[in-house]
């Protein structure tokens, strides 16, 4: 690279992009990691409790709509029940989903 031209050639820029910095997740590197895990676990528990409430309300609306002939309420109850079930699935599987994609991402070279 000449002093007049401060931009490195394309081959050098591509070599810099391909450089492996050697960074990988490791526990215990920062203070407060256990506190953060406790907070996230508490948020997950709060979400699961909220989903149980939402599912109970949705099932009640579904039943009320069905027995009262309110087709809109019945449809909304069904949607709420499906969304609550999907939210429960996502909350329960969150750790596994993140672990799966983290492991998959670590295989990329």
Q: Residue 54 in contact with residue 87, Cβ under 8 Å?
A: yes
Interatomic CA distance for residues 93 and 101, integer angstroms: 12
Secondary structure class of 69 (helix, strand, coil): coil
Digitized pLDDT (tens) for each residue of the chain, 109 residues in all: 555 567 777 777 666 666 666 777 777 777 888 899 999 999 999 999 999 999 999 999 999 999 999 999 999 999 999 999 999 999 999 999 999 998 898 887 7
Interatomic CA distance for residues 56 and 77, integer angstroms: 10
């Amino acid at each position: 690279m000449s002093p007049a031209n401060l931009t490195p050639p394309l081959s050098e820029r591509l070599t810099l992009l391909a450089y492996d910095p050697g960074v990988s997740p490791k526990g215990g590197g920062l203070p407060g990691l256990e506190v953060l895990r406790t907070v996230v676990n508490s948020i997950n528990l709060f979400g699961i409790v909220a989903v149980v409430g939402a599912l109970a309300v949705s099932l009640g609306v579904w039943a009320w709509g069905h027995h009262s002939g309110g087709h809109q309420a019945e449809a909304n109850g069904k949607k709420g029940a499906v969304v609550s079930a999907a939210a429960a699935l996502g909350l329960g599987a969150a750790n596994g989903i993140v672990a799966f994609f983290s492991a998959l991402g670590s295989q990329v070279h």
